[in-house]
Amino acid sequence: MIAVVDYEAGNVRSVLHALERIGAGEVRLSADPEILRSADKVILPGVGDASVALESLRRSGLAEVLLSLTRPVLGICVGMQVLCRHTEEGDVDGLGVFDAEVKRFIPDGIKVPHMGWNTVEGKGCALLEGLTDPVFAYYVHSFYAEISPDTAAVSVHGIPFSAILQHGNFSGTQFHPEKSGPAGAKILQNFLSL
C-alpha cells in the first residue's frame, strides 16, 4: 500500500491521479500515523509556503511520524523542502533529513518563480533509472535546495540547484513528477520500485 500524506499542503489530487495512471495499486490519502507506518511507500506532496507546511506537520504530530519511517519516502516540491535542514521561507528549521539549506532565488536576470520545463541531470540516481538524457521535468518554485552531499540530480536556473535529494530511505524532487509527463511517470514508477 502507498500512503500519500494528507497535511493540508497542496498537490494531493494530481499526485493521486498520477499514481492511478501508472497503476500503482492501493493508494491511501491519510494523516493516520498507523497507516503511514504500515505503508510500503510514503509520498509527501506539497505546494505553497514551506514554513506553513512545517507548522502543519509539527502541530499534527506527523513530523515525528515521518522521521520514524524506515520504508521509502518521497517528498515532492515543498514536501522535499520541509525535509531539508532549514528554509529561508519563514526562516524556520526543517525536519533535517537532508543536509541542505533551502534558499530564495534572486531575480538577477532570471524569472522568479522558476516555472516550466527544465532539464534534470543525475548520473547513477535511482529515480532516473531507465531514462535517457536529457530528462525534462516540470517546475513551479521560488525557493530551491542548495547543492549538498545529499544532491542526487541537478537542474540550473541561473545557478545549479538540487533537483533530487536522497538520503537513506528518503528521496525528494524539487520538480513535480506528477506533472512531468512520461518522464515523471517513470520517476514515480522508479520510486515505487525502491
pLDDT in tens, 108-119: 999 999 999 999
Question: Which residues form the catalytic set?
Answer: 77, 176, 178
Cβ–Cβ < 8 Å for 85, 100: yes
Q: pLDDT confidence of 134, banded at 50, 70, 90?
A: confident
pLDDT in tens, 161-187: 999 999 999 999 999 999 999 999 999
Cβ–Cβ < 8 Å for 140, 155: no
Q: Which residues contact 166 (CB under 8 A, 6 or more apart)?
A: 125, 126, 127, 150, 152, 172
Q: Which residues contact 63 (CB under 8 A, 6 or more apart)?
A: 54, 57, 95
Q: What is the mean pLDDT of the chain?
A: 96
Assign domain 2-192 to its CATH superfamily: Class I glutamine amidotransferase (GATase) domain (3.40.50.880)
Judged against a pLDDT cut of 90, whether residue 11 lies above it is answered with no
Helix, coil or strand: residue 115: strand
- Quote the pTM value: 0.97
